[in-house]
Amino acid sequence: MNNKILKTEVVQHSDSVGIIPIDDKKNIFLVEQFRFAPKKSLIEIPAGTIEENEKPIEAAIREMNQEIGFKGKVIPLIDWYLAPGYDTEKMHIFLATDLKKVRDRLQMDEDENIRIRKMKLKNAISGCLNGQISDCKTIAAILLISRLKNIGQ
């Protein structure tokens, strides 16, 4: 890089998954939870860290079950970096369809206090554009599926 010496700080973070669960009525299932860094509750897609020796699709199935209590057909869509300027984390995004409720009581991690939010896709898109949804992975995921044929159109 132009023979310059740079000092950088890089956060080494495990890869993660994000899931876009959508039913046949174009309802999307999101989670609302308090986040300590911004000191407020955010509406987000279900997501989580890939555990050691776990494949991304396995993590997506596990996280969807734990965070919203559903199972379904899970389809890989895209991978992206969340904050490549300082973080190594790559997120694998999945679409989940053919949803079936498998549990009412959620399996939350110690630091989670999750509330499930079900919204029409068109309302979620509006929420991304008006600031109601302010989490970047969620905005990107919702706008991505809004462009997929037979889902958002």
The answer for residues whose C-beta is within 8 angstroms of residue 11's C-beta and 6 or more apart is 83, 86, 87, 88, 89
Would 119 be classed as within a structural domain?
A: yes
Would 82 be classed as within a structural domain?
A: yes
* Reported pTM: 0.87
Would 8 be classed as within a structural domain?
A: no
Q: What is the DSSP string of 81-123?
A: ES-TTTB--EEEEEEEEEEEE--SS----TT---EEEEEEHHH
Would 92 be classed as within a structural domain?
A: yes
CATH value at residue 22: 3.90.79.10
How many structural domains is the chain composed of?
1
Angle (CA) 42 44 48, round 5°: 115
- Environment class of 116 (CB within 10 Å of its CB; exposed 0-12, middle 13-18, buried 19+): middle
Distance CA 47, CA 19 (A): 6
Would 4 be classed as within a structural domain?
A: no
- Residues of the domain holding 82: 16-146
Would 11 be classed as within a structural domain?
A: no
Would 55 be classed as within a structural domain?
A: yes
Per residue in 30-69, pLDDT (tens digit) is 999 999 899 999 999 999 999 999 999 999 999 999 999 9
Per residue in 92-138, pLDDT (tens digit) is 999 999 999 997 666 656 666 789 999 999 999 999 999 999 999 99
Would 2 be classed as within a structural domain?
A: no
